Structure 1
Amino acid sequence: MCRRKVGGGTGDRNGGGARDTVWGAMMRGFGRSGIARRVLVVGAIPILVAAAIALGAWILLHEAERARAGAVVATETAQTLAAMNRARADALSGSVAGRDGAERRFGERAATATAQLERLERLARTRGRPPSWRP
């Protein structure tokens, strides 16, 4: 009686005999739409979806950090502008002797506000648009 091997070959690969037939059948399954390909597709789709979700989450975390940094700079700038307004009011309503100090404080606050607005411009996505706050 002649037995035909499923995997083909000499029977001595991977220990020979039954292992060779299983190995050959499994390798042929990758070439056709058999169980092995279905398992690969069913296993690969969730992995690809998880990778896409992880990439989206990383992008969102990066944007959240940019937004937080922008909010911090915007708050600091608003406080600096309020202090600058107080220094201006002090210079206009104060005595002549105190006016020099108020004008100096106003100039310092204005320089600080300018630097903060430039930092905020770098954080914001305003490429191609002229800044509206500059004279």
Structure 2
Amino acid sequence: MQIDKSKIELITIGVIIAMLVIGVVFSFRPPALFREARNATRKNHMELVITAIYTYAIDHGGFFPDCIPEPNEEAVEITECLDQIGEYIKGPFPTDPDPNHRYMIESVPEIEKKIRVFSTAPEAASLEVIQ
């Protein structure tokens, strides 16, 4: 069975047009795509830190690491917890994708025995993990 040359040309043109359309769509969205990728990374890092803190608490009779501030105290950088929870994190200790911002941790005063991890990055203002 032989395919007509005009059909091959038509298919080739269709593929080229589809690639151009996809290129145009992605050319308008890079800032949003990069922001979404950074926030996905932040969410994963925050969940990793929370898991490490609760694993520490399980191993230490239900007590959180000393680096966690008391309720109604200011949040602290998670790097202050590196000595206590670092062994519970496989790989490098998580840092914010934007080197100008940090992950913070605090106790949630309204909910007993809950902690909150968040980023100081403005683009992640609505992103937090409470457990």
TM-score by length of 2: 0.37
Higher Cα Rg, which structure: 1
Between Structure 1 and Structure 2, which shows a larger proportion of helix residues?
A: 1
Between Structure 1 and Structure 2, which shows a larger proportion of strand residues?
A: 2
TM-score by length of 1: 0.36
